[in-house]
């Protein structure tokens, strides 16, 4: 039974720039889109909806409100005076949030429109890939606050930039530019701020036109395979591949190629 997709949240703005593309905007502009407990809950609630169904969405874009910040990290004003128990309770929500982002079966593209610090950098790193505005900056500053990255940063950043670069950035807390992030492998493309939304939508629409089962299976094969030996990864890839053989989309793709027309993929 198909369930209704929840679209209204206190700290998120959800819109559809295209029928098959959904955009999620972190929306606490007065706080540089910092993550408070409610934003953590909202991100969990939104992304866990896709665990059982794609809801006919083929791509999700994640960005922040305004031009100053993608996400400034955890809301330290809310955290001021928290007891150990309160801190750990909040962090459990953030841990579930990270898992919901990482496990999203639909391709997730980050449109990094400004500063991505601390937890904001960690949220960005959970995306499948990132495009960033020229003025965007990144940092994992947790060690300067007496903590350490706890939203996946010690795992996602090394996978993107390598162990030695990740150690340098995490242990120092140094900020780095969008160009550095691109050069090191965290960001795929850097564009002028005024062009970011349109550039991300271009790639999102290109992905959305492809066979959705194929895209989801390929995403999973890449992500899971990197955590396996090559032999196990190859075996996993074939299991993912075999899922497409009995689909109507496979038949449609071959037929459209031979008829010299664009395919009409239905996700079946």
Say whether 102 sits in a helix, a strand or coil: helix
Report the candidate in 162, 149, 161 with the shortest Cα–Cα distance to residue 119: 149
Asked if 35 contacts 71 with a C-beta cutoff of 8 angstroms, the reply is yes
CA 249 to chain centroid, in Å, comes to 26
Report, in this order, helix, strand and coil percent for the chain, each rounded to 5: 50, 15, 35
Active site residue 122: yes
> Torsions phi, psi of 105, nearest 5?
-75, -20
Asked if 253 contacts 211 with a C-beta cutoff of 8 angstroms, the reply is yes
Active site residue 142: yes
| Catalytic site residue from 4, 142, 195, 198 | 142
| Catalytic site residue from 67, 78, 95, 122 | 122
Question: Annotated active-site positions, please?
Answer: 122, 142
């Amino acid at each position: 039974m198909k369930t209704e997709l929840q679209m209204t949240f206190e700290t998120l703005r959800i819109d559809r720039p295209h029928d098959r593309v959904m955009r999620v905007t972190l929306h606490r502009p007065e706080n540089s889109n910092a993550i408070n407990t409610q934003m953590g809950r909202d991100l969990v609630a939104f992304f866990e909806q896709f665990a059982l169904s794609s809801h006919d969405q083929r791509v999700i874009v994640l960005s922040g409100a305004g031009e100053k910040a993608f996400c400034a990290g955890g809301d330290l004003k809310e955290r001021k005076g928290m007891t150990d128990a309160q801190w750990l309770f909040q962090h459990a929500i953030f841990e579930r949030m990270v898992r919901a982002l990482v496990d999203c079966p639909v391709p997730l593209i980050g449109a990094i429109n400004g500063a991505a610090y601390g937890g904001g950098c960690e949220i960005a790193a959970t995306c499948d890939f990132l495009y960033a505005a020229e003025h965007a900056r990144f940092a994992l500053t947790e060690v300067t606050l007496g903590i350490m990255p706890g939203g996946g940063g010690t795992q996602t950043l090394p996978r993107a930039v390598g162990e030695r670069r990740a150690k340098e950035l995490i242990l120092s807390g140094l900020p780095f530019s969008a160009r550095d992030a691109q050069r090191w492998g965290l960001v795929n493309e850097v564009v002028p701020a005024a062009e970011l939304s349109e550039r991300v939508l271009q790639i999102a629409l290109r992905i959305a036109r492809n066979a959705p089962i194929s895209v989801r299976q390929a995403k999973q094969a890449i992500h899971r395979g990197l955590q396996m030996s090559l032999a196990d990864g190859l075996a996993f890839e074939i299991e993912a591949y075999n899922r497409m053989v009995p689909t109507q989309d496979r038949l449609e793709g071959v037929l459209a190629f031979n008829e010299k027309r664009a395919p009409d993929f239905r996700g079946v």
